[in-house]
Amino acid sequence: MSVDTADSELKARHRKMWASGDYPSMVETFLLPLGPRLVEACAIQPGDRVLDVAAGTGNAAIQAAERGATVTASDLTPELLAAGRASTDAKLEWVEGDAENLPFEDESFDVVMSSIGAMFAPHHQAVADELVRVCRPGGRIGLLSWTPEGMLGALFRTIGPFAPPPPAGAQPPPLWGSEEHLRGLFGGRVDWTTLERDVLEITAFEHPRDYGEHFKARYGPSIAARANAEKDGREDEFDRALDEFCDEWNLGTPEQARFEKEYLVAVGTR
């Protein structure tokens, strides 16, 4: 199999994974605060040319457009872009595109950002190189990423043993939430002016294990991992591991769950 064929098949699997379940409803349930958080950190102004990479349903892109920026929302999964387009009257462009090979000219944007999106592309260095390439000199690169030490990092460690083997050269998504990893990816090409850790508080679930059921039904990576576990006859083991994860990370009570998901906001000048 050629490298190009293998990469095309990998991208097709990624599209299918993120189109499975119901990621748009997850955004509506508890992820909405993240888009405005990143847009504020990037100090987006009217007239800025903004690219939202791996934009999903446009949680950050729509906020930027509502500030008067000229916005392009790009994502590998057309189903997510369609859901975003249908959800808003804001004027922005929706473009299917791979974060590892963006379909845009060099130095095209004043702000290049990604909220819990680009981090899920498997080849981190390729993504970082593309973010830099399409950002003009003096422009801003802004990223909001789950951290390795936080709840999403722990979730991936929980479901990882049940998931299909990662592709060659792939790195774990939560590494994007590591300051050291970012500095390694971008080197001296970005001057980071903001590196702040914060938490997203989640109180949308009554019982702790409802969070796990939500992820099993709606979140592409969890759906793929459980399907692989079922193929191996390990679905009960998967379910127990996810239940234990929810119990461990619950900061509320058995009757009212509360979770905190740590993320890193990184904004810098190219």
The string of pLDDT tens digits covering residues 40-71 is: 999 999 999 999 999 999 999 999 999 999 99
Residue 2 confidence (pLDDT) above 60:
no
User: What order do you get walking across the sheet with 49-53 strand by strand?
Assistant: 93-96, 70-75, 49-53, 109-115, 135-146, 259-269, 191-202
In the structure, what pLDDT confidence band is assigned to residue 9 with cuts at 50, 70 and 90?
A: confident
Question: What's the mean per-residue pLDDT of the chain?
Answer: 95
**Nearest Cα residue to 257 out of 214, 221, 217:** 214
Q: What is the pLDDT, as a whole number, of residue 10?
A: 78
The stretch 191-205 carries a mean pLDDT of 98
Q: What is the pLDDT, as a whole number, of residue 42?
A: 98
Give the C-alpha separation, 117 to 113, whole Å. 9
In this structure, whether the domain defined by 3-147+167-202+262-269 belongs to CATH 3.90.100.10 is answered with no
**Nearest Cα residue to 112 out of 88, 93, 146, 136:** 136
Residue 254's φ and ψ, nearest 5 degrees, are -60, -20
Give the C-alpha separation, 61 to 90, whole Å. 10
Q: What is the pLDDT, as a whole number, of residue 7?
A: 72
**Cα-to-chain-centroid distance, residue 180:** 19
Q: What is the pLDDT, as a whole number, of residue 8?
A: 76
The pLDDT tens digits of the residues spanning 115-126 come to 999 999 999 999
Residue 112 confidence (pLDDT) above 60:
yes
In the structure, what pLDDT confidence band is assigned to residue 19 with cuts at 50, 70 and 90?
A: confident
- Sign of the alpha-carbon torsion through 45, 84, 178, 150: positive
In the structure, what pLDDT confidence band is assigned to residue 4 with cuts at 50, 70 and 90?
A: low
Q: What is the pLDDT, as a whole number, of residue 60?
A: 98
pLDDT, greater one: 164 or 190: 190
Residue 136 confidence (pLDDT) above 70:
yes
Q: Where are the domains of the chain?
A: 3-147+167-202+262-269
Q: What is the pLDDT, as a whole number, of residue 1?
A: 36
Residue 6 confidence (pLDDT) above 70:
no
